[in-house]
Structure formats: structure tokens, C-alpha cells
């Protein structure tokens, strides 16, 4: 097969409808827009308009709130940490902090800190230091003979001060 022999599959493309090209085309004269009126003219976009009635999106109550300054943590499960220890990417003898987790590739970036959750099993006695952890994760690490220390996240300078 040569480059000039390439063809699209039959029916894969459709020719665009050419409107306003005479009475024989079926879409001549008014180009399928009907006669007169707002929608026959150019530049009309009445998406949420309901003929003067209060639109649905305004009739329904506003709900919820998105906190603009909420903290976003990088989440790590205990099972994944154990997997990396088994693979030799994390040294169990050394203390493990957030920088170690980033360096070994377990976490892409720290964001506002790293939070450890208790999904999966851990058998290595690790000394973990992270920004956040679930109580179940703290218990699981202690049960394996390690320690999990939770540090306070670094505070951002107060805007009012």
C-alpha cells in the first residue's frame, strides 16, 4: 500500500450540509431556519431561556460550597509502602519521610503533605514521618513493630498579619 492509496472507511466521513444553495437543494432560500423571527437571524443563542418564565437553573436552590483554600494531600496506602520495601526501593532500616516517598517514586509530589491510609498489610518495622495518617494506619504500623509520627502541616503566612 502506498501513501496515495490511503482511503477512509466507507461511511466514516460525512459531507457538510451546504445551506442556502438554491431551491433544488432542499435547504435553499431560508437555509432551513424558517421564516423571520429571532432564531432565523444570526448571533442568536438562547440556551437557558424559557420564554420569560423563570429558568429552571434559577428556580432550584443553590447547594453546597467548595472551600477555596482546602488542603490537598498526596494519599499513600500501607500496602503500597510494603510493596516498595519488598522491591528494595525503600530501605526499612532508615527513617522514611515524605522526601523519601517522593524520591522512590511512590508519591509524585507532596502537595500540602502526605497522608497514610491503612489499606493493605504492612509487615516491615518502619519509622514513618508524614503530615497525616488515619488512626487505623497508626495502629497497623505499631502492630508491625514500627512507629508512625504525624507532623503538623507547615502553616501559610496569615494574610491579615
pLDDT of residue 161: 46
> Quick check: 29 and 23 in contact, CB under 8 A?
yes
Per-residue pLDDT of the chain (161 residues; tens, 9 = 90+): 999 999 999 999 999 999 999 999 999 999 989 999 888 888 887 888 888 899 999 999 999 999 999 999 999 999 999 998 888 888 888 888 889 889 888 899 888 999 999 998 888 888 889 999 999 999 999 998 989 888 876 555 545 54
Per DSSP, the three-state class of 14 is coil
Domain 74-150 is found in CATH 3.100.10.10: yes
pLDDT of residue 156: 53
Q: How far apart are CA 113 and CA 130, in angstroms?
A: 7
pLDDT of residue 160: 52
Domain-wise residue ranges, the chain: 74-150
The residue among 78, 76, 74, 75 whose CA lies nearest residue 140 is 78
Q: How far apart are CA 43 and CA 19, in angstroms?
A: 17
Dmax of the chain from CA atoms?
86
Question: What backbone torsions phi and psi does residue 109 show, to the nearest 5 degrees?
Answer: -145, 155
pLDDT of residue 154: 57
Could you write out the three-class secondary structure of 32-70?
A: CCCCCCHHHCCCCCCCCCECCECCHHHHCCCCCCCCCCC
Amino acid at each position: 500500500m502506498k501513501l496515495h492509496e490511503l482511503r477512509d472507511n466507507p461511511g466514516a466521513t460525512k459531507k457538510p450540509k451546504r445551506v442556502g444553495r438554491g431551491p433544488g437543494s432542499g435547504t435553499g432560500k431560508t437555509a432551513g431556519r424558517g421564516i423571520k423571527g429571532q432564531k432565523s437571524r444570526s448571533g442568536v443563542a438562547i440556551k437557558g431561556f424559557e420564554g420569560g418564565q423563570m429558568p429552571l437553573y434559577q428556580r432550584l436552590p443553590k447547594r453546597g460550597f467548595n472551600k477555596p483554600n482546602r488542603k490537598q494531600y498526596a494519599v499513600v496506602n500501607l500496602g503500597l509502602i510494603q510493596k516498595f520495601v519488598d522491591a528494595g526501593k525503600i530501605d526499612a532500616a532508615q527513617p522514611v519521610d515524605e522526601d523519601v516517598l517522593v524520591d522512590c517514586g511512590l508519591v509524585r509530589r507532596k502537595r500540602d503533605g502526605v497522608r497514610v491510609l491503612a489499606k493493605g498489610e504492612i509487615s516491615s518495622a518502619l519509622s514513618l514521618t508524614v503530615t497525616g495518617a488515619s488512626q487505623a494506619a497508626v495502629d497497623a504500623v505499631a502492630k508491625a513493630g514500627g512507629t508512625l509520627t504525624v507532623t503538623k502541616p507547615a502553616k501559610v503566612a496569615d494574610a491579615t498579619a
